[in-house]
Amino acid sequence: MNLTRRDFLQLIGVAGLAGFFSPGAIRAGWGADGDPYEIPDFGNVTLLHMTDSHAQLLPVWWREPGVNIGVGAEWNKTPHIVGKWKLDYYGVSADSPEGYALSCLDYDAMANRYGKIGGYAHIASLVKRYRDHLGSRAILLDGGDSWQGSATSLWTQAADMVGAQNVLGVDYFTGHWEFTYGQDRVEYLIKKKLKANFLAQNVFTIPWGDPVFQPYAIHETAGRKVAIIGQAFPFTPIANPAYMIPNWEFGIHTRHMQKMVDECRQKHKADVVVVLSHNGANVDKKLASLVSGIDIIFGGHTHEIMGPRPVKVGKTLVINTSTNGKILARFDLDVGKGKLKGWRFHYLPVISNMIPADQEMESYIHRARAPYLDKLSVPLATTESLLYRRDNFNGTFDQLLCNALIDEMDCEAAFSPGFRWGYCKLPGETITMEDVMAQTAITYPNVTVSEFTGTQIKNIMEQVGDNIFNKDPYYVQGGDMIRVGNIQYTFNPDETIYHRCSDMMLGGKPMLPNKKYKVAGWASMQQVEGKPVWEVFSNWLRAQKHVRVEKMDLPRLTSNMRTNHGIAYPKKYQL
């Protein structure tokens, strides 16, 4: 029997009805005669989801992590598998566009073969294509972290990104890094400029406990009621400076979430209930296990690949849709009266070379960036190494940043935050001011120099490590381990706080508990004086002219578990 591509996808769709999705569904379309973005009709409601674009209007390079460790019940479970193990889990060939999107393997070669990912003009082409075909049944969800991560978003205080969201036609939106522009700016943009509905059931006023934002919306289409509940990042005043949002209280608020779900179902007679979340993947999975009545959680924050099939927790489907516009997720739903009857899921890599740019969005981006092009394009140095950030421990871009802090601030060691945003640069490319800002563009950028004892250094690292590797997802704030410069150590993610870090070294010598060391850092939670980090980093890069990462301050990893899957350090950096 010879199947056409459409026949094949229709057979795949039947599996979707049963709650399964073949990992070959996307891959089947990458042939010369097929259109990978053509999707057969199904159901009566379509939800499109993007998240964590981090203000990248243009296509970028984005490498998946080589280390993404899950602890406790999450050990070796999606999304905590990487490289070969991730591709094997989903049945994806490494030598394919889907393999390029899902893994870090042979990244340089694969990037040169397939090109950059994301870009709002390319996302807009897909969104418009589906909306033109589906009409009002298509709903676009933005999971947040869309206003921060670029020079232009910082310099315009997110105005450029609000404009892009408006052109794209985002319907519903929640947030995290958005709040670092401060309460007044956030409220002004949401009330005066943003066309989308901003939703957050878990943000309340201090001390009165009144809701700050609309907690949910009831979206009616095709004769059905879709409840969309917003969940902003619950740890915002801990992970980011609390002084920027002094009158707002955040949290997961599981009980209030249950109340909102019940209200949507009972008061508003919602036929399907979805959560637009910025919790992070593991927190979403725990939330799904504790709250009944949620059909789908569309997650963000941890930049995880959770596809090409969703995770099912009880009766709730959970996804996370990567970062930097890399993936557009699409759920086609068959919504009956009061229940979800069936679904099909499509995890669509946005490979810019394969999608024409939308002219309206492209024109908008050109206008938004034009006043800043001279500043953005200033050349600083050429990289001879692949530069990336996203890994549980030091990435090569952060290693350079730590080296710069040590040299420029005349310090013995350096700390850099474990931010997961910040795109890649390929070997041979010029590092520009725009690239530096893509690693550092925050509203609290000042560099500090402190004297810490060896014990204090260890305790700082232990506290950050517990935020990342606590076995209870509700104590995990996301992000990656603090990046270190000139510090070497052994790390056991399965241990408890104050027992994960050992064999502490500085400059190859044992770190003495009571000796004070001069340490540079940035992104302080307190208001501090100092140079912005991008000034320090750019000055160092100019002086270097050419940069190569020869040595990485990576920990020696140990584990209580019998296996160590999901670890794919480049061989040259393994300790």
The type of residue at 287 is L
pLDDT on residue 566: 52
Single pTM value for the model: 0.93
**Pick from 473, 324, 461: which is nearest to 394 by CA?**
461
pLDDT digits (tens, 9 = 90+) for 429-482: 999 999 999 999 999 999 999 999 999 999 999 999 999 999 999 999 989 999
The type of residue at 187 is E
pLDDT at 399 over 80: yes
First to last CA, the chain: 53
pLDDT digits (tens, 9 = 90+) for 308-330: 999 999 999 999 999 999 999 99
pLDDT on residue 414: 98
pLDDT at 306 over 60: yes
In the predicted model, what is the mean pLDDT of the chain? 92
**Residue 464 CA: distances (Å) to CA of 251, 352, 448, 458, 497:** 19, 36, 18, 10, 9
**Pick from 434, 536, 469, 521: which is nearest to 151 by CA?**
434
CB atoms within 10 A of CB 493: 24
Q: Which residue's entry shows tokens 């996804």?
A: 319
pLDDT digits (tens, 9 = 90+) for 494-514: 999 999 999 999 999 999 999
Confidence of residue 21 (pLDDT cuts 50, 70, 90): very low
pLDDT digits (tens, 9 = 90+) for 36-61: 899 999 999 999 999 999 999 999 99
Distance between CA atoms of 85 and 97, rounded to whole angstroms?
A: 17
Helix (H) or strand (E) holding 457: helix 454-469
Per DSSP, the three-state class of 435 is helix
Across 13-22, 135-144, 224-233, 408-417, least confident range: 13-22
Q: Where are the domains of the chain?
A: 5-60+116-366, 377-573
Higher pLDDT, 13 or 311: 311
pLDDT digits (tens, 9 = 90+) for 228-255: 999 999 999 999 999 999 999 999 999 9
Distance between CA atoms of 395 and 481, rounded to whole angstroms?
A: 10
Is residue 200 within 8 A of residue 152, CB to CB? The reply is no
Angle of the 396-408 helix axis to the 533-544 helix axis, nearest 10: 90
* Phi, psi of 18, rounded to the nearest 5 degrees: -85, 0
pLDDT on residue 532: 98
Q: What angle do CA 86, 87, 90 make, to 5 degrees?
A: 85
Is residue 443 within 8 A of residue 524, CB to CB? The reply is no
Distance between CA atoms of 209 and 206, rounded to whole angstroms?
A: 6
pLDDT on residue 307: 84
pLDDT digits (tens, 9 = 90+) for 219-229: 999 999 999 99
- Assigned CATH for 377-573: 3.90.780.10
pLDDT at 572 over 50: no
Is residue 115 within 8 A of residue 147, CB to CB? The reply is no
Whether domain 5-60+116-366 has CATH 3.60.21.10: yes
